[in-house]
Amino acid sequence: MWKLKVAVGVLIPSGLLAATMVKTKAASTPSFEPATVVSSVDPVYPETSTSCGTVVLSVSIGPAGNIQKINVTQSAGAFDSSALDAIKEWQFKPAMLNDNPVSSDVPVAFSFAWPAVCGVGGGRRTNPKK
């Protein structure tokens, strides 16, 4: 009889736990929307550069949509400062988890190419801040 009580004690709570888990899992499927760019500024091609390159940044966006931290994850030497200057002027809508704003990291890549040097078509060398 002692073994029966142990078996029943294990089966009943397990059955209740399984039923609770199924109900909770169906009711709490998370909904996630990544952070989005609200406004952006193009980087300026450095006046002294005669090369091409891509800078990749990891941008940490806070729950208010503000930039909290920027890391260069792929450097392109002379282009890094132009990419950093540009991204600091971007504005973001924060990521949303279950309709609540949350912090997130967003990768951003800037490719710098001067057509005469890099062999790419189209585009002019301009400075949008002038």
Whole-number Å distance between alpha carbons of 59 and 96: 16
The mean per-residue pLDDT over the stretch 12-40 comes to 67
Q: Answer yes or no: is 129 within a domain.
A: no
Question: What is the domain extent for residue 11?
Answer: 1-30
Q: Would you state the torsion angle of the CA atoms of residues 6, 8, 9, 11, taken in this order, to the nearest 10 degrees? A: 120
Q: Is 54 left (phi over 0), alpha (psi -120 to 50) or beta?
A: beta
The confidence score (pLDDT) of residue 11 equals: 32
Whole-number Å distance between alpha carbons of 91 and 97: 19
Tell me, yes or no, whether 26 and 53 share the same domain: no
Tell me, yes or no, whether 17 and 62 share the same domain: no
Tell me, yes or no, whether 78 and 109 share the same domain: yes
Confirm if 99 and 31 have CB atoms less than 8 A apart. yes
Tell me, yes or no, whether 22 and 40 share the same domain: no
- Report how many domains make up the chain: 2
Whole-number Å distance between alpha carbons of 55 and 115: 18
Length of the chain: 130
pLDDT confidence tier of residue 27, bands split at 50, 70 and 90: low
Q: Answer yes or no: is 127 within a domain.
A: no
Confirm if 33 and 96 have CB atoms less than 8 A apart. yes
Tell me, yes or no, whether 40 and 24 share the same domain: no
Tell me, yes or no, whether 44 and 19 share the same domain: no
Tell me, yes or no, whether 45 and 18 share the same domain: no
* pLDDT per position as a tens digit, 44-85: 998 888 889 999 999 999 999 999 999 999 999 989 999 999
Confirm if 56 and 74 have CB atoms less than 8 A apart. yes
Q: Answer yes or no: is 130 within a domain.
A: no
Q: Answer yes or no: is 64 within a domain.
A: yes
With tokens 């090369």, the residue in question is 51
Q: Answer yes or no: is 88 within a domain.
A: yes
Tell me, yes or no, whether 40 and 20 share the same domain: no
